Amino acid sequence: MNEWRVSEHDFLQEITCVKFPGVVKDSGVAKAIQALGGTASLSQAISKSHKLELNFNADSVFHKSVFGERERVPAVLLRVKRKTYEAKVVGIVNTCYNFKSMCDFQFLPNANPDTSVFPLSTVPDPDSLLRSDATVPPLYFPSCHLSKMDTPSPYCYSNRSNSYGNRPSRRNHTQRVPFTLNAPLPSTALPGAMKVAQSRKLDHIVTIVKDLFDKRPIWTRAALLNALGLDKTTFSAVIPCIAFFFLGGPWRLTWCRHGYDPRTDPAARYWQIIEFRAQSIDLRKHLKLRTGEKENPVFTEGQIPSQLNSLFQLVDVHVKEVQNLLLSVPFKICQEKHGWVTAGTIDKIRKIIDEKATDAVVMKYGRTVPVQACEEQDEDSDDSLVVLSNQSAAESADSTDLDSDDET
């Protein structure tokens, strides 16, 4: 059996990998780059750590783009010659863009959009379209909006309504409210909530919780439990008397004081939610070993998060750089998705938390050296590029075949 030998290597060259959801041959590389927005869009997305946008038909305004998620991967890019069993290390792959969304889920016209789509204002006499002898091309009516979901998810359909509205919980009279920009918010508790608290003789606990909400109008469940030291049963009986629950929006999964509207108060940006997911290899490997720990709602510099995925209120991220980012208010009115804070600021805060937490792990436990494994490659050509990583063979099957003769 022949042995592979490495003729050259360059471990200083850092390379970004893009798992293109299609077959790319040598002559189709330019088409693939064009579908990704061109070299300028690629450079901007990589330098700013943004998602990578892919559009197979950039000329059509009705084509829905798909987005590649940025992932951290330990891998090596090899250029191999199969006939001579030679390999050259081209560089180190630290970042990979992977497209996991439904790229074939589109809503496109059957005919040419240039002739089938036109505003009625361009027609001299719109009533002429209703005549039986009128010659009208087949019209195409686009949908009001495309799906906000990029990945498929299972859903069990039933005859029960899926509308929440301000529907109270039958068990503890909680008001669960979906976030909108215009709908009124609950100003008082439901009568049943106060009866439950009084029947359990929890009036003194209600007063204590009310004092907390007077100082800070929005809390997460974990932060309240940490501040009060209550058991979950008592908490469920008391909290509906003081606050309602946000189902979505910038303050999702938080309890908001009755009568307080964060959509009209720029100071409410400090109580917005940020979802943090550990990105660095050292931090993820360490957190996977920590199981059963109590959720910590506060992040302090030099501290290691308790879980891989954590929810923090921005006011509870005790890092000077983060609090400096919150001093300015970029919007005059509250935005539906990001509230009073821009998407770029949210990304910066996530990056800062990841860097600070990784530094704490490395300082306390040392740096982790990832194990690299070589994936089997098909022997189709003499000279090709091979990525060595510790990902499974099933995931590598989705990678781009650079030697195929099919078009992009």
Question: What is residue 111's predicted lDDT score, i.e. its pLDDT?
Answer: 54
Tens-place pLDDT, residues 296-333: 888 988 888 888 888 899 999 999 999 999 988 888 88
The answer to whether residue 116 sits within a structural domain is: no
The answer to whether residue 56 sits within a structural domain is: yes
Co-location of 99 and 186 in the same domain = no
Choose one of 202, 229, 264: the last residue of a domain: 264
State the pLDDT confidence band at 11, using cuts at 50, 70 and 90: confident
Q: Could you give the 3-state DSSP secondary structure of residue 147? A: coil
Tens-place pLDDT, residues 238-282: 999 999 999 999 999 999 999 999 999 999 999 999 998 888 888
Co-location of 229 and 191 in the same domain = yes
Distance from C-alpha of 261 to C-alpha of 127, rounded to nearest angstrom: 48
Question: What is residue 263's predicted lDDT score, i.e. its pLDDT?
Answer: 93
The answer to whether residue 161 sits within a structural domain is: no
Co-location of 354 and 307 in the same domain = yes
State the pLDDT confidence band at 112, using cuts at 50, 70 and 90: low
Question: What is residue 85's predicted lDDT score, i.e. its pLDDT?
Answer: 81
Question: What is residue 50's predicted lDDT score, i.e. its pLDDT?
Answer: 83
Co-location of 185 and 244 in the same domain = yes
Distance from C-alpha of 208 to C-alpha of 201, rounded to nearest angstrom: 14
The answer to whether residue 359 sits within a structural domain is: yes
Question: What is residue 396's predicted lDDT score, i.e. its pLDDT?
Answer: 40
Choose one of 216, 241, 264: the last residue of a domain: 264
Choose one of 264, 280, 297: the last residue of a domain: 264
Co-location of 248 and 317 in the same domain = no
What's the rounded mean pLDDT across residues 327-346?
Answer: 89
Co-location of 12 and 94 in the same domain = yes
Alpha helix positions (H), 261-400: 281-289, 320-325, 343-365, 393-396
Q: Which domain holds residue 245?
A: 176-264
Tens-place pLDDT, residues 180-237: 988 899 999 988 888 888 888 888 999 999 999 999 999 999 889 888 888 888 888 8
The answer to whether residue 165 sits within a structural domain is: no
Tens-place pLDDT, residues 374-405: 333 344 445 555 555 544 434 444 433 333 33
Residue 340: pLDDT over 90:
yes
Distance from C-alpha of 189 to C-alpha of 173, rounded to nearest angstrom: 9
The number of distinct structural domains making up the chain is 3
The answer to whether residue 153 sits within a structural domain is: no
Co-location of 25 and 100 in the same domain = yes
Running DSSP on this structure, what letter comes out for residue 65? P
For residues 251 and 262, the answer to whether their CB atoms sit within 8 Å is: yes
More confident residue, 169 or 228: 228
Tens-place pLDDT, residues 172-186: 688 999 999 888 999
More confident residue, 367 or 382: 367
For residues 246 and 220, the answer to whether their CB atoms sit within 8 Å is: no
What's the rounded mean pLDDT across residues 162-171?
Answer: 48
Provide the mean pLDDT of the chain: 77
The answer to whether residue 407 sits within a structural domain is: no
Co-location of 258 and 276 in the same domain = no
Co-location of 94 and 25 in the same domain = yes
Question: What is residue 81's predicted lDDT score, i.e. its pLDDT?
Answer: 83
Give the helix/strand (H/E) hosting 42: helix 38-47
Question: What is residue 168's predicted lDDT score, i.e. its pLDDT?
Answer: 46
Co-location of 274 and 338 in the same domain = yes
State the pLDDT confidence band at 106, using cuts at 50, 70 and 90: low
Co-location of 27 and 79 in the same domain = yes
Running DSSP on this structure, what letter comes out for residue 37? T
Co-location of 375 and 358 in the same domain = no
Residue 90 maps to which CATH number?
3.30.200.160
Question: What is residue 160's predicted lDDT score, i.e. its pLDDT?
Answer: 53
Q: CB-based contacts of 176: which residues, under 8 Å, 6+ apart?
A: 164, 166, 167, 168, 169, 244, 245, 247
In the chain, what percentage of residues exceed pLDDT 70? 70
Residue 371: pLDDT over 50:
no
Running DSSP on this structure, what letter comes out for residue 299? E
What's the rounded mean pLDDT across residues 16-24?
Answer: 86
Question: What is residue 368's predicted lDDT score, i.e. its pLDDT?
Answer: 60
Which range, of 59-63, 188-192, 239-243, 345-349, averages the lowest pLDDT? 59-63
The answer to whether residue 297 sits within a structural domain is: yes
Beta bridge partners of 300: 318
State the pLDDT confidence band at 292, using cuts at 50, 70 and 90: low
